[in-house]
Each structure stands twice: as structure tokens, then as C-alpha cells.
């Protein structure tokens, strides 16, 4: 049998073996599979990235909320420290108020009804020689100069010394009389000095 090759070998199909076919198939399949993998990754990222962005936004919001909470906690701690710093001063003031309240109430209850309390001062000083605290109440009471107030003041002094509240606390009550002019009227005023014992 004769073969006439008019195409000079270009028209005759190349003989291929199974190995050749496998190599050709592999050369075509690998880029195709790689393309599918990249497409899958791209589609996966398109779904995952928005989810991660939303989660990140939620975390950032939580962090901001927590940051505000931390700032609020720090502010509360500062206020707490400030309040704790004031507690000794407040406690001291309360103790003083509690100590002097019965004294002031007793003075008010025993004041002569016809006389006026012009001034009342509470004084506490440290006596370094005696090694204790000297407590005293100084007050000024007055009445019209036309009246005779000596007996009223004397009775007032005695009521203070015999008071159930002050009897055990008072050491002495001194009285000094002085005349002065109050506004347009002459008045007779008395300075009373209540000296207390060391312990209240």
C-alpha cells in the first residue's frame, strides 16, 4: 500500500502514546484547577470579609464602651478617694457638733426670757502646761439699761451650774458686767465665760 503525502508530512496526525495524553491532560487540568481554587478563594473572601468587618466594628464599639466604663470607674475612684479624704474632717465636725449640741440647747432653754443673746462662741485650745484641751463657751447677753439684770444673770448662771446636762461638765461660770450703747438705746450687757472640765 502506497501513501501519497501531498502535504509533506504536515497533514499526518502525530502518533500519541498514553503518557503523552496524560502529560497534555495534566497541562490543561492544572491551570483549570488552579483557576477554580482562586475563584473559590475569591468567593469565600467576598463572604468572609464583610462578616469580619462587622465583627471588627462590634469589637471596636465594645472597646469604646469598655473604655468609657474604665474612665467612669477612674472618675468614681477619684471621687471615692476624695470622699474618703473628707471623712475624718466630717467625723471630727460631727463629734464636735454632738459634743456641743447639748450645751447650746441647755443655754437656750435657760436663757432669761427678757434678755437677748448677742454672741456665743465655742473655743477649744490646747494647754501645753496642763497637757490637755481647754474648752470654754463665751457669750454676751444684754438687756435695756433701765432694768436691773443682776439677779436675772445670777439666776441664769446658777441654772447652768445646776443643770443635769452641764453639772458634771462645768468647772466654773464667770460673769462680767459692762455697759454699752446698742443702736439708739443704752444697754447693759454681761459677758459669761463657761469653763469646762477636761473631758466632755
Q: pLDDT digits over 97-109, tens only?
A: 557 788 888 998 9
Measured distance CA(154)–CA(175) in Å, rounded: 8
- Of 91, 110, 129, the position where a domain reaches its end is 110
Q: Is the pLDDT of residue 38 over 60?
A: yes
- Of 110, 129, 158, the position where a domain reaches its end is 110
Number of domains comprising the chain? 2
| Spatial CB neighbours of 175, under 8 Å, sequence gap ≥ 6 | 153, 154, 157, 190, 191, 192
pLDDT at 134: 80
- Of 110, 141, 159, the position where a domain reaches its end is 110
Cell of 118: 448677742
- At 52, is the pLDDT very low, low, confident or very high (cuts 50, 70, 90)? confident
| Range of the structural domain that residue 85 is part of | 23-110
Same structural domain for residues 100 and 118? no
Lowest mean pLDDT, pick from 18-32, 107-121, 124-138 = 18-32
Q: pLDDT digits over 61-112, tens only?
A: 877 777 777 777 778 778 777 767 776 766 565 566 557 788 888 998 998 8
Same structural domain for residues 95 and 116? no
Residue 121 within a domain = yes
Please answer whether residues 111 and 157 qualify as being in contact, where contact means their C-beta atoms are separated by less than 8 angstroms: no
Mean pLDDT along residues 125-152: 81
Residue 12 within a domain = no
pLDDT at 190: 92
**33/151: higher pLDDT:** 151
Same structural domain for residues 55 and 134? no
Q: Is the pLDDT of residue 37 over 90?
A: no
Q: Is the pLDDT of residue 195 over 70?
A: yes
Please answer whether residues 176 and 153 qualify as being in contact, where contact means their C-beta atoms are separated by less than 8 angstroms: no
Measured distance CA(179)–CA(181) in Å, rounded: 7
Amino acid at each position: 500500500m502506497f501513501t501519497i503525502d501531498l502535504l509533506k508530512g504536515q497533514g499526518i496526525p502525530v502518533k500519541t502514546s498514553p503518557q503523552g495524553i496524560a502529560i497534555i491532560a495534566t497541562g490543561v487540568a492544572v491551570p483549570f484547577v488552579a483557576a477554580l481554587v482562586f475563584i473559590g478563594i475569591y468567593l469565600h473572601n467576598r463572604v468572609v470579609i464583610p462578616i469580619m468587618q462587622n465583627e471588627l466594628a462590634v469589637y471596636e464599639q465594645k472597646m469604646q464602651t469598655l473604655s468609657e466604663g474604665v474612665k467612669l470607674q477612674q472618675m468614681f475612684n477619684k471621687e471615692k478617694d476624695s470622699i474618703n479624704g473628707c471623712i475624718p474632717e466630717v467625723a471630727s465636725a460631727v463629734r464636735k457638733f454632738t459634743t456641743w449640741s447639748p450645751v447650746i440647747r441647755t443655754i437656750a432653754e435657760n436663757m432669761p426670757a427678757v434678755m437677748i443673746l448677742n454672741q456665743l462662741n465655742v473655743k477649744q485650745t490646747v494647754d501645753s502646761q496642763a497637757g490637755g484641751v481647754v474648752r470654754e463657751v463665751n457669750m454676751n447677753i444684754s438687756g435695756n439699761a433701765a432694768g436691773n439684770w443682776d439677779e436675772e444673770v445670777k439666776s441664769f448662771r446658777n441654772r447652768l451650774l445646776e443643770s443635769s446636762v452641764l453639772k458634771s461638765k462645768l468647772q466654773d461660770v464667770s460673769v462680767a458686767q459692762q455697759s454699752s450703747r446698742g443702736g439708739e438705746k443704752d444697754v447693759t450687757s454681761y459677758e459669761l465665760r463657761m469653763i469646762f472640765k477636761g473631758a466632755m
